[in-house]
Structure 1
Amino acid sequence: MNTKLLAATIAATACGTNAFAAEIYNSEGSTISLGGYVDVGIGEYSSDEVEVHQVSPRLNVSGTQDVGNGITVDAKGEWALKYLDGGDTSFTTRLGYIGMTHDQAGRLALGTQWAPYYDVAGVADMPIAFANDFIYSNHGNLGSGRGDKMVTYRKGFAFGDDMSLDFGLGWQGKHTEAATVYDARGQIAVSFSMMGIGLGYVYNGGEVDNVDAESHAVSLKVGNYSNGLYSAVVYANNDNFYESLYESEQYEVLLAYGLGNGLNLSVNYEAVTGKATANSSDLTQFSQSALQAEYNFTPKLVGFAGYQIDLGDDDPATEDDDKWTIGARYFL
C-alpha cells in the first residue's frame, strides 16, 4: 500500500484544523495511534460572563491494518471531552468508523465520520476560536459536518504534482431524532485543485418530515492555512435545510496570513439569511466577523486569541452579542 496516499486520504476525511497523533504501535502491517488535544481559554465565549471555558477538546484512537492486495483497513474512535465541569457525561462521540482504502479503487468508510459536504464547505473552518458556525447546525442528522451513521466513498485522481480531481459520495439511512423523521439522504461532492487553488461543489439532499431538505454549496480556496496567504469563500443555497428555514443562504469568507515565525493572523465574515415560509420576508438570521491570532509556541502548543463582532440580525428581540477569548491548545 502507498502509505503516503493512505495518510493523505485519511487526513482528507478528518477535521480541517491541525491534527496530530502519536504512533504507539507499528508491527507487521498494523499501527495504533493516540491523538487529540485539550484546550482552555478565558473570555466571553460561551456565555455573556467572563469565565474559563473550553473550545472543542477531543481524544481519539486510530489503527490501520495492511490486509494485502493493496488494501489497508483503518478504524477510528474520537470523543469530545467535557473536563471543566462536573457531571455524569464527560465523553460524547464525535467519530466512530471503519474504512478501507485501495490505491486504485478509492476509499469506502462506514460509521460516524466527516462528510463529503464538509470536504467542500469546510475550507473556511480553520481558526481555533471562531469559524463557520452554520456548518454545525444539526450537522449529524443532515451530514453537513460530521455525519452520523454514514456511508462514504471517495476517489481522487492526480494529474502531475499540482493538479487533482476528487469525488465524494455520502449516504445516511432513515431515522427519527426528537420526533423529527429524517428520510434516507445522499450527497455528492467534487473538488478540483491546481497550483494551490481549489474549487468545490457539493449537493446534499433528502426529506425531513416528508419535505425536501437540500443544500447546494460551492467553495473556493487559495493557498495553505498558516503558511503565507490563505483565503477561502463558501456559499450555500438551501431549501428547508438550515434550522428548517423554507429558504436560506449561507456565506463565509476567511482571509489569513501565516508570517512564518509561528504567528497566524486571520479575519472572517459569516452570515445566514433566509425566510421561514414561502410568503415571509427574507431576513438576516445572523451576521458576524472575527479578528483572530494564533501562535505556535511549539509544534504541539498553540496560543490563540480572538474577538468576534456581532453585526446584527433582523430580529428586533435579539441583542448584539460580541464574544472574545484568549487561550491555549495542547496537542496530545
Structure 2
Amino acid sequence: MNKKIIALAVAAAAFGTQASAVELYNNDGTTFAVGGHVTAAIQGSEENDPTVEAVSPRINFNATQDLGHGFTADAKGEWAMNMLEGGDNTFTTRLGYIGVSHDTFGRAVAGTQWSPYYDVAGVADMPIAFANDFLYDNHGKLGTGRADKMVSYRNGVDLGSVGLNFGLGWQGDNSESFNALDPNADAGNYGDRIQVAVSADVAGFSAGYVYNTGDVDFSPLTGVTGGTKDANSHAFSAKYGSYGNGLYIAGVYAMNEYMNIAGGEALAETSAYEFLAAYALSNSLNLSVNYEGVENDADNLTVRSEMAIQAEYNFTNSFVGFAGYQIDLGDDYSDDDNKYSVGVRYYL
C-alpha cells in the first residue's frame, strides 16, 4: 500500500484533521486523543442583518491500537456541538467508525465516515467560510461527504514517482427522510449504494475519478415521477499543492442524476463544478478565491452560481481568524443575495 496514505489515515484517526489535538494517552502501542474546534462568526448578507453563528463546531475522540503483524486499529467518534443555544440537541453525530489498516493490505472502515467519493470530490472543500456546498445535498445517504452506515476499503501503490490509489464504498438498504423542505418527513427509501474511486499523484499534482450509484425511491418528493430512480454521479477532480502551504489550485466537475436538490426536488440531470485557487504567504495569511456552480441540465436552469473571496490568518497553530465575501452571480431558484462571514476558529 502507498505508505503515505496509511500514515495519513492513522494520523487522522489519532489526532483528527484539525491543526492540533490533545493526546491524553500513548503507551505500549495504544493512543487516545481529543480534538475538534470551536468556531463562531458574524454572518449576514445584503438581505439579512448580521447575526452570530456557529460554523460547524465539533469535538472528537480518537484512539489507535497496534494489533501486531503490521496491523493498526483505530476508532473515532465526532459530534457537532450546539454552542449558541440550549436544548435537547446539544450534540449530534458527525462521524463514528472503526478501522483497520495495514501497509500492504490496505485500510477498511465501518461506520459513518468521510467517503471515497469525498476523497476525490472534496479537494476544493477547504476554506472555512464558503466552500463546496453541492457535495452536501443529502450527503449522508448519498455518500458524497460524510457517508452514513458505510463500509469502505482503500489501498494504493507507489510506482516510483507516481502513486496510484483506489477506494471502494458500500451503503446498505435503509429508509430515511429525504425531503429537503421537511427533513422529518417519511420521504425516501435508499437501496444499496456503491462507489468506486481512483486517483493518481505525481510531483505535487493529483487527479481522480469517482463513480457513485444506487437506487432511491423519491416518490414522496415533488417533481419526481416514476418512484425509484438511480441516483448516480461521475465526478472528476484535479489539484496541485497543499492547502495552507504556498500555492494550492483545485477543481471538481460532476455529472449527476438525482443527486442535487433545488426547490424541494431531486433534479434529474445536473452539472456541478467548483474551482479554488489559494496562496498562503510566509506570514500565515492564506488568500483564496473560489467559484461554485450547479446547472439543471434537464430544464436548462441555473441552480447556483457564486464566487467567494476569502482570507484566513493563523495567529497561532490553534487560533485562526477568517473573513469571506460571497458574491451571488444569479440563479433561477432564488433571489440574488451577497453574503459575508467574519470569525475565529479555536482548535482543541
Q: Do the structures match in fold with TM over 0.5?
A: yes
SS at match of 2:121: helix
- Distance in 1 between the 2:60 and 2:7 partners? 16
Query: What is the root-mean-square deviation of aligned Cα atoms in Å?
Result: 2.0
TM-fit CA distance, 1:321:
1.4
- Distance in 1 between the 2:191 and 2:248 partners? 38
TM-fit CA distance, 1:16:
11
Are 1:192 and 1:200, in contact at CA under 8 Å, matched by a contact in 2?
yes
TM-fit CA distance, 1:54:
1.1
SS at match of 1:120: helix
Are 2:6 and 2:107, in contact at CA under 8 Å, matched by a contact in 1?
no
- Paired position in structure 2 for 1:176: 175
- Distance in 2 between the 1:188 and 1:103 partners? 21
**1:36 and 2:36 correspond:** yes
Are 1:42 and 1:51, in contact at CA under 8 Å, matched by a contact in 2?
yes
**Of 318, 327, 332, the match for 2:343:** 327
Are 1:15 and 1:114, in contact at CA under 8 Å, matched by a contact in 2?
no
Are 1:43 and 1:326, in contact at CA under 8 Å, matched by a contact in 2?
yes
SS at match of 1:298: coil
- Paired position in structure 1 for 2:23: 23
Identity of aligned residues (%): 58
**Of 264, 278, 286, the match for 1:264:** 286
Map residues 1-332 of structure 1 onto 2, 5 A cutoff: 6-10=6-10, 18-44=18-44, 48-160=48-160, 162-178=161-177, 179-209=187-217, 210-243=228-261, 244-275=266-297, 281-315=299-333, 318-332=334-348
- Distance in 2 between the 1:223 and 1:53 partners? 31
TM-score (norm. length: structure 1)? 0.93
TM-fit CA distance, 1:159:
3.0
TM-score (norm. length: structure 2)? 0.89
Change (3 A) 1:304 1:297: same
Work out the number of aligned pairs and report it. 323
Note the residue ranges of structure 2 that are not aligned, 5 or more in a row.
178-186, 218-227
Provide, for residues 40-87 of structure 1, a one-character-per-residue CA deviation record: whole Å limited to 9, x for no partner.
111217x92201111111000010011111111100000001111122
TM-fit CA distance, 1:267:
0.3
Are 1:217 and 1:235, in contact at CA under 8 Å, matched by a contact in 2?
yes
TM-fit CA distance, 1:7:
3.3
Are 1:236 and 1:250, in contact at CA under 8 Å, matched by a contact in 2?
yes
What amino acid does structure 2 have at the position aligned with 1:204?
A: N
Are 1:291 and 1:306, in contact at CA under 8 Å, matched by a contact in 2?
yes
TM-fit CA distance, 1:35:
0.4
- Deviation beyond 3 Å, 4+ runs, structure 1: 2-7, 10-19
- Distance in 2 between the 1:181 and 1:14 partners? 35
Provide, for residues 254-313 of structure 1, a one-character-per-residue CA deviation record: whole Å limited to 9, x for no partner.
0000111110000000010015xxxx5211001111000000000111000000111110
- Distance in 1 between the 2:15 and 2:302 partners? 29
TM-fit CA distance, 1:5:
6.0
